[in-house]
Structure 1
């Protein structure tokens, strides 16, 4: 089995250096790498070229059109039987391709997704963000988890498709705002078999500070409404949870400011939620510092997603704006 690894890149040369370094350590060697520079002002050509003696790697530069179409550009030029998509801010364990190859030979999946985790080298903030995005106490618990809610939709930070899937679907039709979920839904609709490979873990750095994390999750909230516009049945009750949480926080603040008797109940519920996050994160990460930061990351995640979700729900569903 020959893999084609496609990685879109935009102004992140240092990230691709770290990712390519991890690919030189793979135990399974039947693969190529395609780097698609999507109109970056700070390109990574020199860095990519430095790996040509260690990897079968190709570098392409194209005008900026977004990550979905950059992946399509890579699919069109890939030689593999199976295409794998990573985000540029991932680190890949040495046994990743071996794990995927063995699983696909046994289970014959047309498309797959894998979970993400925190690498020991990550900063405490990055570990807290990683915890928040994978915790059972936030919506992140449904991403790459064996006990995911509803139909499993691979995400583009760690996703693979067969060549046949690419040929039948034509790849991404959205370039951002939930493009990977839309793509997964279409793969399902054509009768292809999709599954989670639990041990195909990548270390996903995501964002290095909480402000950037806020911006990313606000975008994710808006993306969920974009998916709804294409597939109304895919909007589930769980997707409203961050919006409900955000409204609850605002209501709690209002009640506390005006001395309402309900304020105490709201404060108790929030305290219980905070303690659950703190002690669970401490158990997972073995660090009280990461546990404290996980509280902040969880609140940033839920409020950012909730505000983005409500913003586009109001504009695109209530007001029916394009």
Structure 2
């Protein structure tokens, strides 16, 4: 089957991000035709001027619709697309110039009806964005919880960077109405229908994620609230590791309380962990500031995910 890519980009009030993403798509080394669909999800700060800027450089189409969330916007884009393989990107990513080339080569050599790719920190990112990227990808944090298996049929998709065939979209009807964890939900529904997924490790994107601690906390809190709901819907997906962030936060609270009784062993374990985290981030990023911030972002990640998990488990998942 000859692949014809349609790139779907939902956007909400982020014209600057769309500009950077489209600029990176212009620079692709991929020589075959592909189309780009921008789905404006009820934005007040619209991206239409950015779309017009790239009309002569890309086969780009612009659609404005009422606000309904990213999942519904992705489905809308896939319904409007003319390609036979859809690539879903978040508006806050930048695509390396060989991205489409890697995807095309891998799918030609080892075809699956869905794939996902990892993310990385771009050199232009702020120190905080690089620290957030470290926390979201490190094995020492909850970045190690999400499935990273490279085996075909085992990789759980991530909504900021994934591909799905037109056939698989038509069978599954794409993303469900779940607001958080919709990519995991899609993964399980694909597997139930007999479709396979894979990780294309070379098809990474530079993902900005969130630019403040408050935004990052809200994002990880949402991830945490989604997990018990998904566990209930797909019992086979339950893992003891999903409890780790909540246990980490509860244990940290206990370690602080124990200090009042002059018991320091538990807090020393946490300090040792943060030192290891700092050294690992320093080794990976070569930046002292990023390494220090990685301690803060990793704790924020545990706190957000852990509290969200417990809140959802106790109050929303009865």
TM range (shorter): over 0.9
Shift of 1:145: 3.7
Paired residue secondary structure (1:61): strand
Aligned equivalent of 1:272: 272
Tell me, yes or no, if the aligned pair for 1:177 and 1:226 is still in contact at 8 Å: no
Matched, 1:211 2:214: yes
Q: 1:87 aligns with which of 79, 83, 90?
A: 90
Paired residue secondary structure (2:180): coil
Distance in 1 of aligned mates of 2:58 and 2:209: 25
Shift of 1:104: 0.3
Aligned equivalent of 2:8: 6
Distance in 1 of aligned mates of 2:38 and 2:50: 11
Deviations 1:242-286 (A, max 9, x none): 111111111112222x2242xx11111111110111011011001
Q: 1:222 aligns with which of 221, 225, 232?
A: 225
Aligned equivalent of 1:117: 120
Paired residue secondary structure (2:246): helix
Runs of 4+ in structure 1 deviating by more than 3 angstroms, as ranges, are 142-148
Residues 144 and 224 of structure 1: is their aligned pair in 2 closer, same or farther, counting only changes over 3 Å? closer
Shift of 1:232: 2.5
Counting only pairs closer than 5 Å after superposition, residues 17-96 of structure 1 correspond to structure 2 as: 17-28=19-30, 29-96=32-99
Paired residue secondary structure (2:229): helix
Tell me, yes or no, if the aligned pair for 1:65 and 1:175 is still in contact at 8 Å: no
Aligned equivalent of 2:295: 295
Residues 229 and 65 of structure 1: is their aligned pair in 2 closer, same or farther, counting only changes over 3 Å? farther
Aligned equivalent of 2:132: 129
- What TM-score, normalized by structure 2, do the two folds share? 0.95
Paired residue secondary structure (1:203): strand
Aligned equivalent of 1:252: 255
Deviations 1:43-95 (A, max 9, x none): 11111111101111111111111111100000101111210001111000000
Counting only pairs closer than 5 Å after superposition, residues 151-166 of structure 1 correspond to structure 2 as: 151-166=154-169
Distance in 2 of aligned mates of 1:259 and 1:197: 51
- What TM-score, normalized by structure 1, do the two folds share? 0.94
Paired residue secondary structure (2:6): strand
Distance in 1 of aligned mates of 2:235 and 2:178: 19
Distance in 2 of aligned mates of 1:238 and 1:147: 19
Deviations 1:155-212 (A, max 9, x none): 1111001111011111112241111110111001111111100111100000111111
Distance in 1 of aligned mates of 2:149 and 2:206: 17
Tell me, yes or no, if the aligned pair for 1:146 and 1:198 is still in contact at 8 Å: no
Q: How many pairs does the alignment contain?
A: 314
Tell me, yes or no, if the aligned pair for 2:114 and 2:165 is still in contact at 8 Å: yes
Distance in 2 of aligned mates of 1:174 and 1:181: 12
Aligned equivalent of 1:180: 183
Q: CA RMSD in A?
A: 1.5
Paired residue secondary structure (1:36): strand
